[in-house]
Structure 1
Amino acid sequence: MTAPYDYHIGVDYHKTYSHLVVQDSAGKTLRSGRVKNDRQSLGSFLERYRENSHAVMEATRNWMVMYDWLDDICDDVVLAHPLKVKAIADAKIKTDKIDATVLAHLLRADLVPEAWAPTEKARDLRVALRERMFYVRLRTMVKNRGVTVFDRYPEQTAQLKKLGDLFNKTGLQQLATLNVSAIDRIQIDRGLEFIGDIDGRIKQAEATIKAMTKTNGNVKLLKTIPGIGEFFARLIDAEIDDIDRFRNPKKLAAYAGLVPSTYSSGGKIFHGKIIKQGNKWLRWAFVEAVAPAVASDLQLRAQYEHLKLNGTNKARVAIARKLLTITFQILRDQRPYERRGVDSDEGASATISRLSR
């Protein structure tokens, strides 16, 4: 149970304004109204309710701004999981005032399904990591657009494609000599110049990330896991933030969305594909780490090849789950990864067996 606060504040946060509802311990609404999203307006609205108060808001887009303002005013701030606040998500009638009132009632009754509020350090690192990922995606888009142009000249580019990467040093030199139309030459040159600019931004972003994690011991530990390199180590550490908030690997797997969907009816249980909810960045990192992991670790490769008999996708998910389990143990015990036998980790082996069925 939460502490017996005098004031319970529900906040329905929007881009330019928020609707606030202040209730007392009996559930009586003391104040309700729309507030402009700035520190001064929020402070003025809640001036009489600062002492012994707590507030709740949903983890919506850019929630950090309002969360930090409320944290300076109230004794405690609770971050609600938007998909789990069914009283709001499933409501037939939705208004800002109703949503804020429901949040205040749930907070007063200690029934708020909480979302994790990362530390400021983890938040900053996540911002830096997402910047790099944005530039990488942008570079891929520009390259794909260039490939569309190249495909109009199959005879000239057929030999180039054998290089494997049209955009490495050798490929770029060859692309510069292609005999194409004037407009296509303009587009190719602009695209290649743009890719060079993006590469520079990626290097700058990586330098920022490296400086932020220079003394991070967790990153060094995570890099000892097969398939986990510099970037994934930093991403995984930032998304987990604090391993102690997970009681066991299963909780971490559920948070990452690396657990099968389950349907139970009539005494029978069916397991389907992995759930769509969860931290998409963690799930992506572990799944992407599978290929380099099985290429560098004999035990993981043997397990992967065995599980492929039941389907490649199931095998990838199972190995990703094993990498997650290893991550949990390494961060919990604060020791580097040590290669062991295939079945030495009973928990991970059980997981692989279940997911491969």
Structure 2
Amino acid sequence: MNTQITAIPKLYIGIDIHKRSWKVHCATDLFAGKSFSMSTDPNKLRVFVTKHFPDHEVSTAYEAGCCGYYAHRCFENYGWRSLVVNPADIHRKGKEKHTKTDKIDAQLIARELKDGRLESIIIPNKKREELRSLFRRRNDLVKDFRRIKSYIKMQLLYFGIKEPEEFDNDHWSHKYRKWLDDMVFEHPTAKATLDSRLRFFRFVDKELRDVSTQLRRYCKVHYQKDYMLLRSIPGIGGIVAGGILCELGDLRRFNNIKHLAGYVGLTPSVHQSGDTQRTMGMTPRSKRLLRSYFVEASWQAIRADPVMQAYYRKHQGKNVKRIIVKVARKLLSRTLAVIKTEVPYTIGVIE
């Protein structure tokens, strides 16, 4: 009697990716597997698999991180199933929570992949991924801008220099900048320090303006329909609209507001035991940058939209931070509705 193997053998590869090397663990349905180190070249892994595991159906997984999606795209080009997973989704048993090495990490990823418990994050296409890099560059510049302003204020405070009352605010007018340029110190070294910081301030200021303009222009040209729909919502300006398009992609992929709010991080953390239930604040798992943008946009929305303002006032008397989070979730709901219906938002219309 002739016997034939009808099931396709499966290979599961867990990879702990680093800048200079990968720790790889290979497992199949029949054996627990082996671990080894290799250089950061996806093609070398393909050669290894072709040599030692021919005719296997290959699945790979690695944690999302600084190395991006290059390896993932290479694996998919080889015809493999590839997952890029959130590190928090890798389940660890008791003692595994207290023991961490690259080898163990690769073994855990392979085990979870083999057991079918892993789910990939959303992988953006190259066009949106590179646009996202511009948005994140802008946020790096925002941090630099705030930092250099703090350094300049710190120097004035350190030397006991009091600002005129008209300049004691966050807005740095041209008049205020001229006042800083004309400042005189007893010794030239302090003046040299301030001049250096002012040069850096002007450089960052110009870079921030240029990158912001490029971001808005690109989104308006290449994602015009969704960009203009988002801009119709009070509180959402060009930068916030660009951030939504960069970080969330096409909002139509979200089934409902609960799905979207969970992804952005505008959902409460709840702890229940028996008859006791506590709300632990907002979930720590989130798109933190985008969540902060929606919270900031909510302050503008309650000024521009009477309906949002009435919703805010209805909750007055409670914790202000909790109220604005409620408004942010409502703003997020409207954002999803506008994109899904493809109808611009009309100010003052009650949902």
- Assess same fold via TM > 0.5: yes
Three-state SS of the structure 1 residue aligned to 2:13 is strand
Tell me the equivalent position of 2:245: 237
Q: Give, as a single letter, the amino acid of the residue that structure 2 aligns with 1:302.
A: A
Do structure 1's residue 80 and structure 2's residue 80 form an aligned pair? Answer: no
Q: What is the rounded CA distance, in whole Å, between the counterparts of 1:239 and 1:35 in structure 2? A: 32
Do structure 1's residue 206 and structure 2's residue 212 form an aligned pair? Answer: yes
Deviation at 1:260, TM superposition (A): 1.4
Tell me the equivalent position of 2:3: none
Deviation at 1:55, TM superposition (A): 0.8
Question: Identity percentage over the alignment?
Answer: 23
Do structure 1's residue 327 and structure 2's residue 341 form an aligned pair? Answer: no
Q: TM-score, normalised by structure 1?
A: 0.86
1:196–1:26 distance in 2 versus 1, CA, 3 Å: same
Deviation at 1:156, TM superposition (A): 5.0
Q: Give, as a single letter, the amino acid of the residue that structure 2 aligns with 1:47.
A: T
Contact residue 253 and residue 259 of structure 1 kept, 8 A = yes
Tell me the equivalent position of 1:260: 268
Tell me the equivalent position of 1:35: 38
Do structure 1's residue 271 and structure 2's residue 314 form an aligned pair? Answer: no
Contact residue 54 and residue 74 of structure 1 kept, 8 A = no
Q: What is the rounded CA distance, in whole Å, between the counterparts of 2:8 and 2:300 in structure 1? A: 52
Three-state SS of the structure 1 residue aligned to 2:152 is helix
Deviation at 1:183, TM superposition (A): 2.7
Tell me the equivalent position of 1:353: none
Tell me the equivalent position of 1:62: 67
Q: Give, as a single letter, the amino acid of the residue that structure 1 aligns with 2:255.
A: R
Do structure 1's residue 44 and structure 2's residue 47 form an aligned pair? Answer: yes
Q: Spell out, residue by residue over 1:316-352, the C-alpha distance to the aligned partner (whole angstroms, 9 max, x if none).
A: 11111111111111222222212345xx43xxxxxxx
Q: Spell out, residue by residue over 1:181-219, the C-alpha distance to the aligned partner (whole angstroms, 9 max, x if none).
A: 333322221111111111222233234424532220222
Tell me the equivalent position of 2:97: 91
Deviation at 1:74, TM superposition (A): 4.0
Contact residue 257 and residue 275 of structure 1 kept, 8 A = yes
1:10–1:155 distance in 2 versus 1, CA, 3 Å: closer
Deviation at 1:274, TM superposition (A): 1.1
Runs of 4+ in 1 over 4 A off after TM superposition: 152-156
Between Structure 1 and Structure 2, how many residues are aligned?
Answer: 339
Q: What is the rounded CA distance, in whole Å, between the counterparts of 1:86 and 1:64 in structure 2? A: 22
1:323–1:40 distance in 2 versus 1, CA, 3 Å: same
Q: What is the rounded CA distance, in whole Å, between the counterparts of 1:167 and 1:118 in structure 2? A: 38
Q: Spell out, residue by residue over 1:215-267, the C-alpha distance to the aligned partner (whole angstroms, 9 max, x if none).
A: 20222211111111111101012211132442210111111111112121223
Tell me the equivalent position of 2:202: 196
1:157–1:180 distance in 2 versus 1, CA, 3 Å: farther
Contact residue 145 and residue 204 of structure 2 kept, 8 A = yes
Q: What is the rounded CA distance, in whole Å, between the counterparts of 1:332 and 1:298 in structure 2? A: 23
Three-state SS of the structure 2 residue aligned to 1:87 is coil
Contact residue 268 and residue 283 of structure 2 kept, 8 A = yes
Q: 2:182 aligns with which of 165, 174, 177?
A: 177
Q: Spell out, residue by residue over 1:96-153, the C-alpha distance to the aligned partner (whole angstroms, 9 max, x if none).
A: 3332222222222211143222222221111111111111110110111101122356
Do structure 1's residue 135 and structure 2's residue 141 form an aligned pair? Answer: yes
1:4–1:311 distance in 2 versus 1, CA, 3 Å: farther
Q: What is the rounded CA distance, in whole Å, between the counterparts of 1:339 and 1:207 in structure 2? A: 26
Deviation at 1:273, TM superposition (A): 1.4
Tell me the equivalent position of 2:192: 186
Q: What is the rounded CA distance, in whole Å, between the counterparts of 2:9 and 2:294 in structure 1? A: 41
Contact residue 307 and residue 314 of structure 1 kept, 8 A = no
Contact residue 21 and residue 38 of structure 2 kept, 8 A = yes
1:159–1:177 distance in 2 versus 1, CA, 3 Å: farther
Q: TM-score, normalised by structure 2?
A: 0.87
Which runs of no fewer than 5 residues in structure 1 stay unpaired? 346-357
1:47–1:204 distance in 2 versus 1, CA, 3 Å: farther
Q: 1:19 aligns with which of 17, 23, 31?
A: 23
1:5–1:160 distance in 2 versus 1, CA, 3 Å: farther
Three-state SS of the structure 2 residue aligned to 1:91 is helix
Tell me the equivalent position of 1:104: 110
Contact residue 27 and residue 105 of structure 1 kept, 8 A = no
Q: What is the rounded CA distance, in whole Å, between the counterparts of 2:35 and 2:280 in structure 1? A: 45
Q: 1:144 aligns with which of 123, 130, 150?
A: 150
Contact residue 165 and residue 171 of structure 1 kept, 8 A = no
Three-state SS of the structure 2 residue aligned to 1:323 is helix
1:58–1:189 distance in 2 versus 1, CA, 3 Å: same
1:241–1:127 distance in 2 versus 1, CA, 3 Å: same
